[in-house]
Structure 1
């Protein structure tokens, strides 16, 4: 790789992910035919689990345009894009003097992030796991309830009373 122009701009995690994909990076380390180093595959694997996986250039450009009214530094915008905070608690560490600079508009900024960017991939996984776990618990409970009397009359019949 040859550096054409040093420090020409910042890269989002999405930019790095797309670059590594274009070079042939994969989560599957068994791909021998690619020109990607093991460290590039590890970076790709990490980024694949971040919000960058679900983002698009359109999302990023839309967010950059809509958040201009908040007068955020470029690094703050980059951090928001990379981490996709979905709550006020997630925004505060990313913006210097958040209370003083944004005041009540912090909630608007969080709503903008949630509106523009897709949910974090791990959040979907946790949600799906929770649904699966709940279904399994219900099925297990139903399996355990088999053979148990459903009401007092059945209980009396079983007891012989």
Structure 2
């Protein structure tokens, strides 16, 4: 078993962030076995690893995720909302993308602008090269 301390230390919080899953796969040497036969990682786990390396989870650090999670507690967010925000990391129209994640923010007294500031400061967005490649692939796929 690994000795990684995950953000979701509370057993009542069952949702993991994509960063935590990627961290777990890295601890099992998924990133080091380029042949994909030596590490004790299932083929499906390699697929998950490859997918997560193309997402914003690959740009996260334990410090940024933990800091963001700790500071979100001041905003009265539900435990299930924090991993969703970390996983999605809205970057284009963040306020619109947060609305389906955070239920009734006004009623609960949640300061959305403060959360958006933390997003910008603590969680880096997906690198633009990944975004541009995804857009190119979409355009090429639509033209075919």
* Residue 62 of structure 1 pairs with residue 67 of structure 2: yes
Question: Which residue of 2 is the match for residue 93 of structure 1?
Answer: 100
SS in 2 for 1:77: helix
Q: Which residue in the other structure is 1:16 paired with?
A: 21
Cα 1:129–1:49 shift into 2, 3 Å: closer
2:64 aligned with 1:43? no
TM-score by length of 1: 0.65
- 4+ long deviations beyond 6 Å: none
CA deviation profile, 1:59-90 (whole Å, cap 9, x unmatched):
01211222222100110011111111231011
Q: Which stretches in structure 2 are left out of the alignment for 5+ residues?
A: 2-9, 136-144
User: Does the C-alpha gap of structure 1 residues 48 and 93 become closer, same or farther in structure 2, counting only changes over 3 Å?
Assistant: same
What's the TM-score, normalizing by structure 2?
0.71
Structure-1 separation of matches of 2:115 and 2:27: 32
Counterpart in 2 of 1:108?
Answer: 114
| RMSD value, Cα | 2.7
Q: Going by fraction, where is helix more abundant, 1 or 2? A: 1
Q: Is the 8 A contact 1:27 1:41 kept in 2?
A: no
Residue 129 of structure 1, CA deviation: 9.2
Number of aligned residues: 123
